[in-house]
Amino acid sequence: MKNNLLKLLTKDKEVRLYIVDTTDILEHSSLKEMETDFAKELYTKIFTCCCLLRGFLTERDQRLDVSIRFKPEGHSVYCNIDGEGNIHCTFSSKLRIFNGEFKDLVGKGTTFSISRGSWMGGMFTGTIELDSDSVELCFSDFYSRSEQVETIFRIWVSNKRVRGCMIQPLPFAQSNNLKYVIDSIDSNQVFLSAEELKELPNKVFSYARVIEEYKIKIECNCSKEMFFGLLMSVEMEELKQAIQRNKKEEVECGICGSKYLFNKDDLKAIVKMKEGV
């Protein structure tokens, strides 16, 4: 599979951009499980935004989880992407058949969470309450309110292609330079959604250069050992109580759905690791 995510940096080194084409990988995703046109469009946009976030993962063992709980009970989203570009996105059964409007999903009671970390280093989570007008604004609002970093998302869905763009000014970027980048992207959306991905740097982004290329795919190379790091983030007291009750812990991979069982001995080993023994 060819590279489908480009990372660019403006020549003044003030703004970084990510451009992704999710057309092909969406064919192998859970999109086919969506039963309404609204659910299909919602899935396409959330999936594409999550693919853009892969650019923030700098190590192979890093992962990023996106969890959205919409206002109506039982309407939820879970997406996971790792540092190798593997992505998995699922909708709850109620959301797969939802046929309303986006405004019906958000408001008081809607939460948006992103967890980021590594298998061995644990995960760190930020959460906000959502009242955004679109999927793109949901992701933008999270980064501005939880991370205090301005981040702009654009998604283009056509009959032929699905593309996404993420724009993030670096510290001390001048507002007029950021505005120039945003205006340039908005005025060139026809090219951005129609041209071959490899042609975009020359035809649209003459003011930037490509500094990284990535592959986004729906595959997984998970193993039980990888999830020891995830359980390392569990509170020590909770682990010890599970050991006393001889309770087994089951962890499901967010990429492929594989399940791993951790017995009493496994939990004891994790406690020892946390204690530094």
| Confidence at 52, pLDDT banded by 50, 70, 90 | very high
Q: Does residue 274 register a pLDDT over 80?
A: no
d(CA 260, CA 26): 27
| Confidence at 276, pLDDT banded by 50, 70, 90 | low
Q: What pLDDT, on the 0 to 100 scale, is given for residue 245?
A: 84
Q: What pLDDT, on the 0 to 100 scale, is given for residue 12?
A: 95
Q: Which helix (H) or strand (E) holds 23?
A: helix 23-26
Q: Which amino acid is at 147?
A: E
Q: What pLDDT, on the 0 to 100 scale, is given for residue 179?
A: 95
Residues 6+ apart with CB under 8 A from 242: 249, 267
Q: Which helix (H) or strand (E) holds 186?
A: helix 175-187
| Confidence at 254, pLDDT banded by 50, 70, 90 | low
For 115-168, how does the pLDDT look when each residue is reduced to its tens digit (9 = 90+)? 988 766 677 889 999 999 999 999 999 999 988 899 999 999 988 899 999 999
Question: What is the residue extent of each domain of the chain?
Answer: 5-214, 224-275
Q: What pLDDT, on the 0 to 100 scale, is given for residue 269?
A: 83
| Confidence at 259, pLDDT banded by 50, 70, 90 | confident
Which CATH number is 5-214's, of 3.40.50.300, 2.60.40.1180, 3.10.20.30, 3.55.30.10? Answer: 3.55.30.10
Q: What pLDDT, on the 0 to 100 scale, is given for residue 238?
A: 80
Other CB atoms within a 10 A radius of the CB of residue 33 amount to 13
For 187-233, how does the pLDDT look when each residue is reduced to its tens digit (9 = 90+)? 998 889 888 999 999 889 999 999 999 999 887 666 777 677 667 66
**Maximum alpha-carbon separation in the chain:** 63
pTM above 0.75, yes or no: yes
| Confidence at 240, pLDDT banded by 50, 70, 90 | confident
Using left for φ > 0, alpha for ψ between -120 and 50, and beta otherwise, residue 85 falls in: left
Mean pLDDT of the chain: 89
Q: Does residue 68 register a pLDDT over 70?
A: yes
Q: Which helix (H) or strand (E) holds 111?
A: strand 111-118
Q: How far is CA 232 from CA 221, 269, 271, 275, in A?
A: 20, 10, 8, 10
Which CATH number is 224-275's, of 3.40.50.150, 3.30.450.70, 3.90.1280.10, 3.20.20.150? Answer: 3.90.1280.10
Q: What pLDDT, on the 0 to 100 scale, is given for residue 221?
A: 64
Q: Does residue 277 register a pLDDT over 80?
A: no
95-113: string of b/e by CB count within 10 Å (b at 16+)? bbebeeebeebbeeebebb
Q: What percent of the chain has pLDDT over 90?
A: 59
Q: What pLDDT, on the 0 to 100 scale, is given for residue 119?
A: 63
| Confidence at 39, pLDDT banded by 50, 70, 90 | very high
